[in-house]
A = this chain, B = another copy of it.
Amino acid sequence: MPIKSFEVVTKKREQIVDITKQVEKIVKDSGIKQGICFVFVPHATAAVIINENYDAAVCDDILTFLKQHIPQGVWKHDAIDNNADSHIKSSLLGVSQVIPVENGKLMLGTWQGIGLVELDGPRRRKVIVVITKIE
């Protein structure tokens, strides 16, 4: 299958957007029954996480934690571009996730969803999805 991608338009400086449905659709459309799904964001001030998407407070808490420990405006890079905190947060969370696929479905747990983490928005972000088949 070719590599797929989709866009997400974020609305705040910091925001976690649930992208589970978009990724699930790409897995379904691929027709691949068993494999690994890779989700990657080609951005240095965004990230991808897998965590609870049922209670929105979990996402708020993750962003609050990051804000408390990584304030804005106190870093060297802030002299050039006022987003050093966004880069540090992105490095901590990471820009990719891997999820096993079985019976044509993502093997996510009951409380797991895939979240695009915007750390320097609002912006238009790209999400790349690749699925490898395993025989």
Contact = CB atoms under 8 A, between A and B. Distances in A.
Contact of A84 (B38, B41, B61): B61
Interface size class of A (residues with CB under 8 A): 35 or more
Given A34-B3, A134-B1, A57 B84 contact: yes
Interface string A52-66: 100101101110110
Given A3-B100, A38-B98, A107 B128 contact: yes
Given A38-B98, A57-B75, A60-B76, A91 B51 contact: yes
B70 A65 contact: yes
Interface string A75-106: 11101110010011011111111111010000
